[in-house]
Structure 1
Amino acid sequence: MNSLTTALAAASSGMDAQAMRLRHVSENIANADTPGYQRKIATFQIADGGVRLGPLRLDDRPGQRVHDPAHPLADQTGHYDGSNVDLIMELADAREAQRGYEANLRIFDQARQMMQSLFDLIRR
């Protein structure tokens, strides 16, 4: 039975980590038009038989240079630094996080069903 609770804990930690990753992806998408915003990149760490979100990294790629002379942050040439968020990359990361979450959910459900079957056998 210890293996089943370990599987439940590992799957649960994986779902938590992917949910937090999806939160950071949504923050990146929400700030895609914020001048100077740097994309957040989620990292994972192994912890206690599971996984957890590690320290966030900021994407060091330069933001795109935007020409808008009327913008308050524009320099003498009429340019300002935009964010370095690429919406296609964020959508891909969101899809990957969703699939990781779903995979952990299937493992969690399978372990739960196995525990239920074990309890049913014990009751007989």
Structure 2
Amino acid sequence: MSDLLGALSQSASGMQAQAARLRHVSENMANVDTPGYRRKLVSFREMADGSGVEPGPVRLDRNALARIYAPGHPLADDTGHYDGSNVDLMIEVADAREAQRSYEANLKLFDQARRMTQSLFDLLRK
């Protein structure tokens, strides 16, 4: 029984972690045109008690910011350039799909463990 409850807990933590990842991906996509914005990266780590995963600290992508030439822009320097963001929409779309599929896999595992637990309870009632 504890194995089934552990599976429920682990899959729920996986769904929460992927939801956090998807939130950061959507923030990155929303700020693709924000000058000076650095892409947020989230990693996962095992929970201290080993019962699942959790999002680790959010890190900023240290890749170079895009240099944009727009002499009339208020942030432009003497050469007419300003720092854009380092968000690549193709990477963000791929990350969003990966997070969505991982979330769905955890959801299927959660549902399967829930059904198995319900079947066990039904057997014990008889």
The aligned amino acid for 1:27 is E
SS in 1 for 2:57: coil
**2:83 maps to which of 81, 84, 105:** 81
User: Which runs of structure 1 show a deviation greater than 4 angstroms over 4 or more consecutive aligned residues?
Assistant: none
The yes-or-no answer on 1:109 pairing with 2:107 is: no
Q: Using the alignment, how far apart are the partners of 1:103 and 1:58 within structure 2?
A: 28
What TM-score does the superposition give when structure 1 sets the normalisation length?
A: 0.98
The aligned amino acid for 1:114 is M
SS in 2 for 1:102: helix
The yes-or-no answer on 1:2 pairing with 2:5 is: no
Q: Deviations over 1:52-101 (max 9, x none)?
A: 00011110001111011111100011100100000000000000000110
Q: Using the alignment, how far apart are the partners of 1:3 and 1:21 within structure 2?
A: 27
SS in 2 for 1:80: strand
Identity of aligned residues (%): 65
The aligned amino acid for 2:76 is A
| Number of aligned residue pairs | 124
The yes-or-no answer on 1:40 pairing with 2:26 is: no
The aligned amino acid for 2:41 is I
Any stretches of 5+ residues in structure 2 without a counterpart? none
What TM-score does the superposition give when structure 2 sets the normalisation length?
A: 0.97
Q: Shift of the alpha carbon at 1:50?
A: 0.1
The yes-or-no answer on 1:122 pairing with 2:107 is: no
Q: Using the alignment, how far apart are the partners of 1:86 and 1:80 within structure 2?
A: 17
